[in-house]
Amino acid sequence: MTEENHGINLTFDAADEYRPEAPPPPEIPAWKNGSTRIGIHTSIAGDLSGALEIAHALGANALQIFSSSPRMWVRGPSRISEADATRFRERRKALGLGPLVIHDNYLINLASPNPVLRTRSVQAFHQEIVRALALGADFLVAHPGCCMESGADAAVASIANGLKQATRGLKLDGLEILLENTAGQGTSMGSKFEELRAVLDASDLPLGVCIDTAHTFAAGWDIRTAEGLDRTLQAIDSTIGLERVRVVHVNDSKTHLGSRVDRHEHIGKGRIGLESFGRILNHPQLAGRAFILETPIDKPGDDRRNVAALWKLRGVVIPVNGARDGMKPRRKKKSKVRAHGNVSRRKTAVKSSPRASARRKSRGK
């Protein structure tokens, strides 16, 4: 400041006028900075925040979880306590993990023509949204459901309506619901991109889409070659619109092209192959998407190896040594059939701890 400015100045300065403070701009999550986001479905067995530690320790910077047991109907409200939710949000922020994707319960079927099952599904999906909001999730991935005997058209209306009922009274507040494409097993909806589009059109919610590589391949899209991948992305773009694809589930496939059977395999060990995943992870039309693994864990360290494999395809080398901090392998079923066809089930059941079974249940698909 110079000497002259110390004099008293009584002239009106517009800058001194009182103005109410403008509201702060909405905080843009750090993960939306355009950086590569690679995540893995991690277990919440025991502790929700533990999933964050696992993902971080594995070298992931994004993650997917179930917010409750994925193969059980939760009785009564299954809210997450304020304290647990706060701890989770703070830890997630500190670790810089994002996006946070929540996968819905496998039993939910909004397409069901059975009124009891449908009502239960709507209630359960409502609870999914409540928990996703509590945890500050970015995306909630939902399987469209199985139409059973009702047919695709009725199912589309049922899903759109079910989503509307499930969101009633809730402010989505940045949470985006994503419909996942499926392998087309049985009467499951969503193996055709047109079916997903029909639900998007029938719904007044801002829905997005999650594309699963193994499901896409099993549904008949040959993403193994550069031309095949381009054709597939073009088909997605002309039906759904690629901008609505927010998350890619990156899984290799145990089953062959068009098998309509959903079996995930380690990256590069299945029928899609490593080279194809290199093209998927670096495709300009998929830039900015979160790539989330839902690969099996057969041996300790499989989770870490799959995360490292995706990073490597993006030109980043992370250590793969040491299986510490990762998830425990799924126990192999000991279904020894004896000479008289006697299956020693009981022994297996006794040996399997509740923790191990919870871990098995909470592993992603």
Active-site residue, 71 included: yes
Q: Which is nearer to Zn ion, 176 or 212 (CB)?
A: 212
CB of 224 to Zn ion, least distance (A): 18
Query: Strand 37-41 to strand 62-66: parallel, antiparallel, or no bridges (unpaired)?
Result: parallel
Q: Which is nearer to Zn ion, 158 or 182 (CB)?
A: 182
CB of 125 to Zn ion, least distance (A): 14
Active-site residue, 176 included: no
- How many helices (H) and strands (E) in the chain? 11, 10
CB of 180 to Zn ion, least distance (A): 5
CB of 144 to Zn ion, least distance (A): 10
- Dihedral sign, Cα of residue 106, residue 110, residue 114, residue 116: positive
- Dihedral sign, Cα of residue 246, residue 249, residue 250, residue 255: negative
Active-site residue, 106 included: yes
Active-site residue, 243 included: no
Active-site residue, 237 included: no
Question: Which residues ranging from 231 to 250 are in contact with Zn ion (CB under 5 A)?
Answer: 249
* Of 111-119, 132-140, 159-167, 177-185: span binding Zn ion (CB under 5 A): 177-185
- Residue 150 contacts by C-beta under 8 Å, 6 or more apart in sequence? 111, 113, 158
Q: Which is nearer to Zn ion, 49 or 127 (CB)?
A: 127
Active-site residue, 264 included: yes
Query: Strand 252-253 to strand 264-265: parallel, antiparallel, or no bridges (unpaired)?
Result: antiparallel
Binding mask 135-174 for Zn ion (x = CB under 5 A): ----------------------------------------
* Residue closest to 256 by CA, chosen among 268, 271, 277: 271
CB of 185 to Zn ion, least distance (A): 12
**Catalytic residue (choose from 53, 84, 106, 260):** 106
* Of 7-15, 79-87, 125-133, 175-183: span binding Zn ion (CB under 5 A): 175-183
Active-site residue, 215 included: yes
Look up residue 277 and give its two tokens. Answer: 């995943």
**Catalytic residue (choose from 180, 252, 265, 302):** 180
**Catalytic residue (choose from 71, 79, 314, 345):** 71
Binding mask 199-218 for Zn ion (x = CB under 5 A): -------------x------
* Residue closest to 249 by CA, chosen among 190, 325, 171: 190
In angstroms, the CA 60 to CA 311 distance is 9
Residue ranges with strand state E in 199-351: 208-212, 245-250, 252-253, 264-265, 290-293
- Residue 207 contacts by C-beta under 8 Å, 6 or more apart in sequence? 163, 176, 177, 178, 179, 199, 200, 244
Active-site residue, 180 included: yes
Give the count of beta carbons closer than 10 Å to the beta carbon of residue 250.
29
Active-site residue, 18 included: no
In angstroms, the CA 335 to CA 72 distance is 24
Q: Which is nearer to Zn ion, 49 or 105 (CB)?
A: 105
Question: Which residues ranging from 248 to 267 are in contact with Zn ion (CB under 5 A)?
Answer: 249
Determine the size of the site formed for Zn ion (CB under 5 A).
Answer: 3
Active-site positions?
71, 103, 106, 143, 180, 212, 215, 249, 262, 264, 294
User: What residues make contact with Zn ion under the rule CB under 5 A?
Assistant: 180, 212, 249
